Structure 1
Amino acid sequence: MASADERGELLANVLQNPDDSGACQVYGDWLADHGDPRGELCQIQIRLAAASAGDVTLDADERSDLERREKKLLAQLRKAFNRRYATKGTRWVTRLGMIRELSIDTAAFIAHGEAIVAEEPIETLALWKLSREMLAPLARCPALARIGELVLRQHPLRAEVATLLASPHLQRLRHLELRACKLGAPGGRELRKLDARYLPLLRSLAIPQNAIGDNAAAALARSPLLAQLEQLDVATNNLGGRGVAALVGSLQRVRRLDLSANYFGEQACARIAAHEGLRALEMLDLEFCRVGGDGIAHLARSPNLGALRELDVSCCHIDDEGAVALAASPRLGSLERVRFGATASLEALDAGNFQRDAFNHAGARGIAALRERFAEGLSLRTFVDGQWRES
C-alpha cells in the first residue's frame, strides 16, 4: 500500500472514531515512523489522557517532561496551521493529538473549511469576524456538515440569521449558540425557521442576550424543534410572562433551562410549575427574574420538578415565606444545590442605599430554613453589621 493511501486509511478511521485512543495511537505511531512531529503529539496526549484516567502511572518528572514537550509541539502545530490556512489568532483544543475544538476567522473557514475537516475531527466550531455578507457563503460551506457544535458570539446577525438557518449542512449539529448577535425581534422571529427536519440531532439551543421579546419567543415556541431540546438558554431576552410561558410550554425533554434576567414574575412561575414537560429538568436558572416569594411557592408545590438538582434564584425578590416554602418542599426531593444570592431585609437594603431589585429579602427565619434543608449545597450572602458575608 502506498504511503499516502495508508495514511488516508488510518486518518479516515480517526475521523470516524475520534475518541478511540486505539485508532489515534495507530495513526500517531504511523506519523511518527514517517518523521511527522504530529505523531509524537498524538503519542504524548494519549499517554497523558491514560494517566488522567488512572490507566497508567506517571511520576512527577515524567509528566513534567511530557507536558513540556506537548507545549512545544502544540506551538509548532499552531504555526504550521496558520501558515497553511492563511490565518492568524486561531485557537483550539486538542485531544489525543487531534484538533477537536476550533476558533477561527470566518473568512478562513469559508475558504479552507473542507480541507480542515478532512484532516481534523472538529467537533466544536467558533467563528469570529462574521459579517452578515458572509452568512450566505458560510451557509453553503460543506464543511459545516462535519460540525457538532456551532458557536457564534457578538456578531450583528439580526434578521439575516435566517440565511444561516436555511443551510443544508447542519444535519449533525447538536448545539447551536447565537450569543449577543443583536437578533432583536426581527431576528428572533426568524428563529421559528429552526426545523427539526433539517436539524434532527439538535439538542441544545443558546440564544442569550438578543432581546427578542415575547412575540418572537411565541413564534419560536411554535417550532416542533423545541420538543427535542435537552438544553435551552434564553437569558436576557426581554421576555415577560407570555414569552416564557410559550417557550416552556413547548419543551418536552429539557434537562437544563436558563431563563435568567427575564422579568416574568409569579404567574409565569405557575405556568412553569404546571408543565408536565419539565419532568426531566435538572437545572433551572431564574436569576434576576423577580419571581417573588409567591412564584417560588408555585415551583415548590410543583409535581413536575422532582428531578431538579440545581436551582438559581438569586435576585428574585424572595421573602421569608418563599424561602421557607422552598426549604420545606416535599416535591423537590432531588434538589441539592441552591444559589440564593444576596439577601437582606428591605429595611437594611434601604438603610444601605442598595437597589432592591438586586437582592432577595429573606430574613433570619427563611435563611435558617434554607440552611437546615440544603446545608453545604446552599450559596448565599447575608448583610450583617453593615457588611456582606458569604454563607
Structure 2
Amino acid sequence: MLQRPWPLELAAQQLIRDDVAVESRLSVVGLIRLDEVLAGRMARGIKREDVESWIDLHRAWINERFGSEDLVPAFTRCSRLRAVSELRIDCNWLGVTGVAEVLASPLLHHLDELELAVGLHTVEAYEPLARRKMTHLRRFGLAMPDAQDGDIPVGDDLADLLAAAGLERLESLALPRVGIGPAGLSRLFDLPALAYLDLARSAIGEEGCHALARASSLSRLRGLDLEGCLGFDDAGDSALPGPGFSALITSPRLAVAHLGLGDVPGAVAIVAGSARMTTVEHLVLSEVEDDELASLIASPYLTALRHLRLRSCNLSSTSLTGFGRSQLLAALESLTLSNDPTASQQGLVARRLPRLRELRLEVNHTTADSLGRADLPNLTELHLDFDATALSQDEEVEGTDLDAVIAALVSAKGMPRLTGVVMSPVSPEHMAKLVGRFGTGFRTKEYSLTGSVRER
C-alpha cells in the first residue's frame, strides 16, 4: 500500500533525554526487553537455542547503540509524545508485554497514525487497543514481521479486536503475514471508514478471495494489497490463482485505485483481461515476464493507470523497448522497475515522456547512456539503486561504470526539472558532485534496523 516514507529513526533515549527536534511524524527505535523477547518466542514454540542465537547475534550491537536499560516506563510518560501525530515504533526487541505497555500509554491516545515494526504477532500485544482509547487513529499498520517468527495465524482474533476497538475513523489498515481467514476478513469490514487494506503475505487463499469478492462493502475500498495472498502449495511454490482470485479481480464491486498483487502467479493475465481495472491508478506487480508485460500493454482496461511498480522482473531488452514505445508508459506519472541487470534500459526512455515525474531504476551497464539520452522534461524525482560490490564482481553486468552514471546524471540536458535524486550510498567524491548539482535535493538510502529502506 502506498504511504508516506517514515523519517530516519530516532533512538528512544534521545527522545526521552536529549533536546532534539521532534516533528509530528516520528520513527522511534531502541526500546529493549530481550528477556521478554526470549520468553515470548519460546512460548510460541520456537526452540530456545534458535531464539538465543538470534538474540546473541544482535545483543552486543544493541547494547552498544542503545544500552541495556529498560526505557519503556520513561517512554510511556514522555510528554514530548504529545507533539507527535504519526508514530512508528520498532518493537522487534521489546516483547509482548512491552508492546502492550507502550500501547497503553495515554500519551498515544491522540495519534492519527501508528505503525508497529514488530515480529510479535500475538493478540496479547495489542489488547490495549480494545480499551477504545485510540479512537483518533486513521491509519494503523504492522510492518512485515521478522522472518524468524514465520506466519503466526492470529489474524481472525486480531480482526475481532480491531473491529471492537472503536476505530470509527480508521481508513488504512496493514496486516501483513497475520494468517487471516474469511471470518476475520468479514470483521474488518465492520470498520466503517476502512478504505485501504493491506493483506500482503497473509495467505487468505482462495476462500479468502471469495469472501472479499462477496463482501457488500468491497466497493468502499480504494486500495487493496494482496501480494502473496494465496500462500504456497505443497511443493513450497506460490499457489496458483483459482476461481476465488478471479472472482475478486473481476468483481463488479471492485473499484480500487491502488492494487498490489506482487508475485501472484498468473495475476497479470487476469488483471489485463478484467474490465474492473478501469479505476486502477496505482498497480504493483512482481516477477513479470515478457509475455505478461505485452498483455498489460495491450489491455484496453488500464486507461486510468498513472503509477506502475514492476519488481524483480525478467524482462528482455526487446520487451523494454516495446514498453518504451507504448501508450501505457506514455500515460504514466511514475514508474518503478527492478529487472534482470543484463537487459538494456536504452529503449525504455528512448522517446519523449512528458508525463513522467518520478522514475526508479536499478543501475546497470546501460544506465549512463540511457540517462544521457533521456528526454523527460517533467521528471522531478529520480531513484537509482545499485550494489557497488555486486556491480564490480558480476561479469554479466561488466561495463557498469558508476563514474559514467554520475557524470551523465550531473550533465543530463533532457531532465531540466530534476531536483530530487535518491541513490544507494556513494563515495565522497561522487557525493560531492551530486550535492554540487542537486544541493539538498540529493539523498542517499540506508536500511533501517527492521530492514526497510530509509532516506537521509
Corresponding residue to 1:227 among 265, 268, 278 = 278
Q: Which amino acid aligns with 2:258?
A: S
1:260 and 2:304 correspond: no
Give the corresponding residue for 2:373. Answer: 328
Going from structure 1 to structure 2, the CA distance change for 1:160 and 1:388 (only over 3 Å counts) comes to farther
Structure 2: how far apart are the matches of 1:189 and 1:355?
42
Provide the rounded CA distance (Å) in 2 between the counterparts of 1:309 and 1:74.
39
1:335, CA displacement in angstroms?
1.6
Deviation string 1:248-299 (CA, Å, 9 cap, x unpaired) is 4432222221102111122221332233244441211112343733xx2222
1:88 aligns with 2:140: no
Q: Deviations over 1:338-379 (max 9, x none)?
A: 2333488xxx978x5x23567882465554222212676444
**CA drift at 1:185:** 5.1
Match of 2:293 in 1: 244
Matches within 5 A, 1:123-272: 123-127=171-175, 130-131=178-179, 134-136=181-183, 138-139=185-186, 142-143=189-190, 146-166=193-213, 167-181=215-229, 182=231, 184=238, 186-187=240-241, 190-193=244-247, 194-195=249-250, 197-200=252-255, 202-208=256-262, 210=263, 212-213=264-265, 215-235=266-286, 238-250=287-299, 251-272=302-323
Secondary structure of 1:292's match?
coil
Match of 2:136 in 1: 98
| Cα RMSD after superposing both structures | 4.3
- How far 1:173 moved relative to its partner? 0.2
Q: Verify the 8 A CA contact 2:109 2:134 in the aligned structure 1.
A: no
Aligned counterpart for 2:400 among listed residues 346, 361, 365: 361
Aligned to 2:410: 371
Q: State yes or no: 1:302 paired with 2:351.
A: yes
- The answer (yes or no) to whether the contact 1:258–1:286 under 8 Å persists in 2 is yes
Q: What SS class does the counterpart of residue 409 from structure 2 fall into? A: helix
CA contact (8 A) 1:176 1:204 kept: yes
Distance 1:116 1:65 in 2: 22
Q: Report the counterpart of residue 73 of structure 1 in structure 2.
A: 106
**1:313–1:340 Cα contact (<8 Å) kept:** yes
Task: Rate the CA distance shift 1:290–1:113 in 2: closer, same or farther, 3 A.
Answer: same
Q: Give secondary structure in 1 for the equivalent of 2:224.
A: strand
CA distance in 1 between partners of 2:189 and 2:380 (Å) = 44
Amino acid at match of 2:139: E
Q: CA deviation at 1:195?
A: 2.8
CA contact (8 A) 1:106 1:128 kept: no
Shift of 1:121: 1.4
Residues 369 and 249 (structure 1 numbering): CA distance in 2 closer, same or farther, change over 3 Å?
same
| Alignment correspondent of 1:31 | none
What secondary structure sits across from 1:98 in the alignment? coil
Gaps of 5+ in 2: 1-22, 25-78, 87-101, 112-121, 143-153, 233-237, 435-456
Residue 150 of structure 1: CA displacement? 0.7
Amino acid at match of 1:326: L
Aligned-residue offset at 1:163: 2.1
| Mean Cα deviation higher: 147-156 or 188-197 | 188-197
Correspondence for 1:10: none
Corresponding residue SS for 1:288: coil
Task: Report the Cα distance in structure 2 between the residues aligned to 1:318 and 1:284, rounded to whole angstroms.
Answer: 20
2:365–2:399 contact (8 Å) kept in structure 1:
yes
Aligned 1:273-292 pairs, distance under 5 A: 273-290=324-341, 292=343
Separation in structure 1 between the aligned mates of residue 332 and residue 225 of structure 2, nearest angstrom = 20
Measured against aligned partners, the alpha-carbon deviations of 1:41-72 in whole angstroms (never above 9, x if no partner) come to: xxxxxxx98xxxxxxxxxxxxx9594499995
Q: 1:307 to 1:223 in 2, by over 3 A?
A: same
Note if contact 1:196-1:224 (Cα within 8 Å) is conserved in structure 2: no
* Aligned partner letter, 2:125: G
Is contact 1:284-1:310 (8 Å) kept? yes
- Return the offset for 1:187: 2.7
CA contact (8 A) 2:108 2:134 kept: no
User: Is the 2:85–2:110 Cα contact (8 Å) retained in structure 1?
Assistant: no
Change (3 A) 1:153 1:95: farther
Q: TM-score, normalised by structure 2?
A: 0.54
| C-alpha spacing 1:69/1:141, structure 2 compared with 1 (3 Å) | closer
Q: Which residue of 2 aligns with 1:7?
A: none
Given that 2:140 and 2:172 are in contact with CA atoms closer than 8 Å, whether structure 1 keeps it comes out as yes
Q: How far apart, in 2, do the equivalents of 1:120 and 1:142 lie? A: 11
Aligned with 1:340 (options 368, 381, 384): 384
Give the number of aligned pairs.
300
